[in-house]
Amino acid sequence: MARSASIYVCSDCGHTEPRWHGQCPGCTAWNTLVEEAAPPKAGGGRAGRGGGAGGARARTPTVLRDVHAEQTKRLHTSIGELDRVLGGGLVPGSLVLLGGSPGIGKSTLTNMALGHLAGAGHRTLYVTGEESAAQVRLRAERLGDHALEVPIVAETDLDAVVATLDAERPAACVIDSVQTLHAPDLTGAPGSVGQVREVASRIMSVAKSNGTAVILVGHVTKEGALAGPRVLEHLVDCVLQFEGERERTYRTLRALKNRFGSTNETGVFEMRSGGLVEVLDASARFVGEATGKPGSVVLAAMEGSRPLLVEVQALVSPSELVPPRRVVTGIDRNRLALVLAVLGRHAGVGTGTADVFVNVVGGVRVDEPGADLAVALAVASAQKGVALGTPERPIAAFGEVGLTGELRSVGHPDRRQEEAAKFGLTDVVAPPRVTSLRAALRAAFGAAREEGPVRAA
């Protein structure tokens, strides 16, 4: 009987079919049919969705000014970096999707957050579908006392989880992970698009009615999409991405979407034996570790509202390959191609027959045009084998490289300068003091060394 309970809806054109097809008979797109729970009868929506059209009463709209909106108090997880990325803590009744590749520390972070909330006297609930309760306990033992106070259920049945949420009415709940829960009225396997969407929407309605803040843990696919084809991103209030490489110590937490705060806030964490530790002085660490050797430049980046100094390293070596290799970590590969092209064309630094490797140290990812100049200087420095600073005083840079070889200013120049000055980097190469890439190279390479290329504010 399970079959009749679900229909298949094309995610492109909305065409519905009673059975799954590889190709949508409506619009001929491939692999777009997604299983959904069928409405009980034509015209009537299921509870919690849509609503009926036939006998429904018209509603009177309210002017926004008259809408009652309580200033709800946020739940503070006591993990400063997490609270900041969330925009000041968890909002009651909100749905947060936390994505990240396996082993990055999603379970650790959520368990710690719930532990702190439990320690502060809030009702919490940890739903694990991935690990057994015993496994979660073993982890929690390493995370301090309060982590063990979190109530846990090991369950993968969606109905049971929803019933538990309704009975327990926790202030905060973690579902680890959304892909392991299974809605029995759908035939699709757990983790399939239809299932994940159903799970999220059912959990959302129970969370909204009880005021429970829910963190859905989601896996990232090989392509980097959250929980399948980004099906949840528009449903949830907040999408957090936990990034970094498993082998590296530093991990960054980033908001991709936030209905209650700014996006692009980033928190930096370090995985230690006792769980995740916030890295509050990230700039100090990265500057302290900067080598100041040929190919090394400090980038004064902005991570959301916060300046962050990171070391950009480049290596240029003769290549036997045609085309030569372009390998990047932490920056966009196409951005490197652009910088290399402008370096060759407008600044006389050719890398056409060399392999170029660029790495942002510490597993940090920088997604802003302000990184261009630091990348260009690092590549030029590596290519010439000339150091741009000393280990004690590496050179810092920021600025966008334009296609005609000009340098363009980027957001928050003052805050970047201040951050650099705070850590003793007085040599900052940046627009508007230098207006072209060529001038920036001249300023960075010795010529102006004695006078100091551009003084920090």
- Choose among 28, 47, 48, 37: nearest CA to 8: 37
- Contact segment (CB under 5 A) with Mg ion among 100-108, 192-200, 413-421, 447-455 equals 100-108
191 is in the binding site of which of Mg ion, ligand TYD, none (Cβ under 5 to 8 A by kind)? none
Q: Are 228 and 209 in contact (CB under 8 A)?
A: no
**What residues from 140 to 159 belong to the interface with ligand TYD (CB under 6 A)?**
142
Shortest CB 16 distance to Mg ion, Å:
35
Q: Are 345 and 330 in contact (CB under 8 A)?
A: no
Is 139 an interacting residue with respect to ligand TYD (CB under 6 A)?
A: yes
Going from the C-alpha of 122 to that of each of 117, 151, 203, 228, 454, the distances in angstroms are 5, 11, 20, 32, 52
Is 105 an interacting residue with respect to ligand TYD (CB under 6 A)?
A: yes
- Contact segment (CB under 6 A) with ligand TYD among 24-32, 151-159, 271-279, 449-457 equals 271-279
Q: Choose, by CB under 5 A, the member of 107, 111, 258, 351 that binds Mg ion.
A: 107
Question: What are 356's strand-pairing partners?
Answer: 316, 326
Total residues at interface with ligand TYD (CB under 6 A): 14
379: part of which helix (H) or strand (E)?
helix 372-384
Is 273 an interacting residue with respect to ligand TYD (CB under 6 A)?
A: yes
- Residue 76: both structure tokens together: 């503070």
Site string for ligand TYD, 83-102 (x = CB under 6 A): -----------------x-x
Contacts 24+ apart (CB under 8 A), 278-281: 278/79, 278/80, 278/81, 279/81, 279/250, 280/80, 280/81
Helix 437-444 / helix 372-384 crossing angle, nearest 10 deg: 60
For ligand TYD, give the closer residue by CB, 98 or 454.
Answer: 98
179 is in the binding site of which of ligand TYD, Mg ion, none (Cβ under 5 to 8 A by kind)? none
100 is in the binding site of which of Mg ion, ligand TYD, none (Cβ under 5 to 8 A by kind)? ligand TYD
Is 129 an interacting residue with respect to ligand TYD (CB under 6 A)?
A: no
Shortest CB 130 distance to Mg ion, Å:
6
108 is in the binding site of which of Mg ion, ligand TYD, none (Cβ under 5 to 8 A by kind)? ligand TYD
Is 417 an interacting residue with respect to Mg ion (CB under 5 A)?
A: no
Shortest CB 178 distance to ligand TYD, Å:
13
Q: Measure the CA–CA gap between 186 and 202, rounded to whole angstroms.
A: 13
Is 224 an interacting residue with respect to ligand TYD (CB under 6 A)?
A: no
Beta strands in 273-360 (DSSP E): 275-278, 296-303, 306-318, 326-329, 354-360
Q: Are 252 and 365 in contact (CB under 8 A)?
A: yes
**Which residues are at the interface with ligand TYD (CB under 6 A)?**
100, 102-108, 139, 142, 271, 273-275
